[in-house]
Amino acid sequence: MYGKKKSRGYTGCGPVAGSTGSSSECEQGPRGYPGKDGQDGKDGQDGADGVIGMDGEDGLTAYEVAVEAGFTGSEEEWLDSIQGEQGPQGEDGEGLTINGSVDNEDGLDDVEGGEIGDIWVSNDDGHFWILTGTDPDVWLDLGAIQGPAGVDGEDGTNGTDGTNGEDGESAFDLAVDAGFEGSEEDWLDSLGTPGEDGAVGPVGPAGADGAAGVNGEDGLSAFELAVEAGFTGTYEEWADSNKGEDGKDGIDGAPGVDGAPGANGNDTGIPGADGADGAVGPAGADGEDGLSAFELAVEAGFTGTYEEWADGLQGADGVAGAAGPAGADGPVGDPGPQGNPGMKGEDGERGLTATFLHGDTPPGGNLGGNGDIYFQLLP
């Protein structure tokens, strides 16, 4: 069945679809299934960057904000107005008290009933340990505390020079007193030639070492003495309070008057004959071991552990030396063994093929493939 003619075409009604058109007389068919979504379109190109905006104006300072809020006065007056009053002085802290000493650090484990702030000294290295926590005990090593050096004592006065002794009689005078008659030359001639020196006698035995003295009790440190004298404060506060300005050098005392040299006495008596060599005495007992380098350093004023002393002996690394000249080239080595055969390469592209045609046969028809070359041999 044909549809009625309209200006936009025919509209089909019935089972046969007509040409495109529109008509209100046809019944509307059932709604078709929704079609699939179309593919997303390509993204558009980015737009050009916008023009950079101008810098904003600087903000007001804190003083200018205060002025806008109603403050009147200079900036210095405003600064003074925002400073608070000084707070009250804090209470005095408690001083440190040394409760006792132990042989070494391990001995701190045996201290019982300690309270936080207790201080014990380890006798092996002189370190001070303070209890900072309990259950379990926590000890903090304060290091070795040494008071400042004492003031040098005044120099003693020089002693009085002794009087010169009287000259003794010469050997010639003694010989005359003994009955010699003649001049001094006659007496010298009568002495004859001096005898040869005798052999040096053997070294006598070494004396026995004296018994070691008893160690005195350790005295209080300068800080402890200050605390007993009424000082209140920490060790650091006490040490800072002792740092006075350096005193001026004292005036050197006048040197004492040298005594007059005594007159040389004359030789007396005739030298006797050399005595016989004495027997070699027994070897002396071995002396006590000397102090180690670390112990000598401690006696000289070093304070610290052995590790700290040993670390101080090591100097800084020296500057690296300049690079040496390049060595000469070595001799050429022997040829190495032949390597294993490589893997087989891929097949190359098809090469050119030349075909020779005899007679008048043209190179037509299905003679070969593309790229083949033919040569016609003329008679």
Specify the residue for token string 């006590």: 288
Give the C-alpha separation, 298 to 290, whole Å: 14
**Range from 112-116, 230-234, 357-361, 371-375 that averages highest in pLDDT:** 230-234
CA angle 137, 142, 143 (to 5 degrees): 125
pLDDT at position 283: 74
For the whole model, what pTM was predicted? 0.20
Q: What is the pLDDT of residues 142-172, one digit of tens each?
A: 888 766 677 787 887 887 887 887 888 888 8
The mean pLDDT of the chain is: 75
Q: What is the pLDDT of residue 93?
A: 65
Note the pLDDT of residue 123.
94
Choose the weakest-confidence range: 89-103, 149-163, 196-210, 355-369. 355-369
176: how many CB neighbours lie within 10 A of its CB? 15
Query: Out of 117-131, 152-166, 359-373, which region has the weakest mean confidence (pLDDT)?
Result: 359-373
Burial (CB count <10 Å: 0-12, 13-18, 19+), residue 129: buried
Six token digits for residue 378: 């003329």
CB 127 within 8 A of CB 143: yes
C-alpha of 253 from chain center:
48
Domain boundaries, the chain: 98-144
To the question of domain 98-144 being in CATH 2.20.28, the answer is: yes
The answer to whether the bond into 202 is cis (omega within 30° of 0) is no
* Rounded Cα gap, residues 187 and 268, in angstroms: 13
Residue 72 pLDDT > 90, yes or no?
yes
Question: Which pLDDT belongs to residue 2?
Answer: 41
